[in-house]
Amino acid sequence: MRRGTTPTLELTLDASLTDCEYRVTLANGKKKITKTESDCTLSEDGKVIRLLLSQEETLSLDPNHPVRVQVRFKVNDLAYATNIVQTSVEDILLKEVI
């Protein structure tokens, strides 16, 4: 992921989140970004979450720390969490919104 860009993240799950309440959290150093189902789109089978990050959100990420990503969801009042995955943050030269 590169700072100052507007990436669309695709998270593929083993379970369908159709009709589930869920949150996607990205953690980077002390910064946390949480997206709800209203911020995301699901594939037809409910197993792929797509979410867009803004320039402001990616500019807030620290390139000295990885971004850790986890999905939490609830099915029939039971709460679940995926494994945490991580990716790197690449820096940019112009550190402002264009």
> Are the beta carbons of 77 and 8 closer than 8 angstroms?
no
> Could you give the number of structural domains in the chain?
1
Classify residue 98: in a domain, yes or no. no
pLDDT digits (tens, 9 = 90+) for 38-81: 999 999 999 999 999 999 999 999 999 999 999 999 989 999 99
**What is the CA 45 to chain-centroid distance, rounded?**
19
Tell me which residue range forms the domain holding 22.
8-87
Classify residue 69: in a domain, yes or no. yes
CATH number at residue 61: 2.60.40
Classify residue 14: in a domain, yes or no. yes
Q: What is the pTM of this model?
A: 0.93
* Interatomic CA distance for residues 38 and 36, integer angstroms: 5
Classify residue 37: in a domain, yes or no. yes
* Percent of the chain at pLDDT exceeding 70: 100
What is the DSSP code (8-state) at residue 44? T
Instruction: List C-alpha distances in Å: 9 to 17, 25, 76, 77, 93.
Output: 16, 12, 27, 27, 23
Classify residue 31: in a domain, yes or no. yes
Classify residue 51: in a domain, yes or no. yes
Classify residue 18: in a domain, yes or no. yes
